Structure 1
């Protein structure tokens, strides 16, 4: 019940910000082939990367891959998103995930923390886990784009201050590129969300891709030029 109430509160506040509008058509899911020598980007996160309840090819990593290719910045996105992952669970699987990549990623996207907040976990734990995750990427010389999360207002002012500052502060510490709030393009617009009002639908994913593609492309360019 606590988990459900937190989800509801988070989304009630978000949905009050914008009226639902008719979704635009989703671009064709048929993507051009990525060149065999394209650099690899690892998308390491939770259900927002995993493509929860979406058809194959509709999730954030494959749509970002298609957008980058169409814009003349080819990259191969490896989807290492796991639905329901907390930062603690992700930290436990990080080394195994990296050790088993056939090609070393030149860049990683890290999108975690929402499940910590929805479960009411202490922000100090979230910070420590994300810090350890970014430290592991640092050790392996893999630059990161960190996609951030915000706390639901019902968590309280103190919780929000401790939680919301995690991403900008860790991005600065680890010299990672930052998307301050991953869900900003869709939160509050029911036409862009699944029925659970937690995850973006296929059209919503396209909006998020459009909002984040530039940050990823710039980080990728910097990574391959090192």
Structure 2
């Protein structure tokens, strides 16, 4: 899930500019705000903007009869630590539910699962302090990384969801990651069809979380 300084800066500027262009009354009229805090999968790496996960998620929610504004707060290359560092910037006031979709780059870099868990724990705590609902999206560690590491990494998400009482979506790439027809050539990022599948599976979970905020 690659990152370059220029891309990171431009994405953050784009996020900030988009948020600034949407006044509070306009957001309220369009429905509750869902922010997806994530990495390149959220950001839509390798995809046209219209095919990125946040856009697809908004479409799927509308198909379910749920009106919501979905904000893209994904930055390619971000680890859980980087997401924590920009949390207050990226998850703007007015967010009803935040989908926390971080950890994939921690896994790729072989970071200590204890560190990943600590970062995600702090993210969840700060969101709850702000009275923002949380959907925690996990990412599945393949056994090739080592059974012990995979076990410890995969346990992060279930244990945090249980500890904090937040909604869990166990694996963001479920149903996509091992299907070449739904993945880009790098085998890491979903293609446009894959993003659509993720959005379709994630939408009911987000809709439930939004309902719980009502």
Bin of the TM-score, shorter chain as denominator length: 0.7 to 0.9
Q: Which has the higher helix share?
A: 2
Aligned to 2:47: 54
Contact persistence 2:30–2:67 (CA under 8 A):
no
Q: Of the candidates 107, 128, 138, which is equivalent to residue 128 of structure 2?
A: 138
1:84 & 1:177 partners in 2: Cα distance?
Answer: 25
Length-normalised TM-score, structure 1: 0.80
Q: Of the candidates 83, 89, 94, which is equivalent to residue 87 of structure 2?
A: 94
Residue pairs, 1:63-142, within 5 angstroms: 63-98=56-91, 101=92, 103-142=93-132
Shift of residue 212 of structure 1?
A: 1.4
Where 1:109 maps in the other structure, the secondary structure is strand
- Unaligned 5+ segments in structure 1 are 5-33
Where 1:130 maps in the other structure, the secondary structure is helix
Alignment RMSD: 1.7
- Unaligned 5+ segments in structure 2 are 3-26
Length-normalised TM-score, structure 2: 0.85
Shift of residue 113 of structure 1?
A: 0.4
Q: Which of the pair has the greater relative contact order for Cα pairs under 8 Å at 6+ separation?
A: 1
1:68 & 1:150 partners in 2: Cα distance?
Answer: 25
Where 2:56 maps in the other structure, the secondary structure is helix
- After superposition, give the CA deviation of every residue in 1:29-74 in whole Å (9 maximum; x if it has no partner): xxxxx98341101111111111111001111111110111122101
Which has the greater radius of gyration?
1
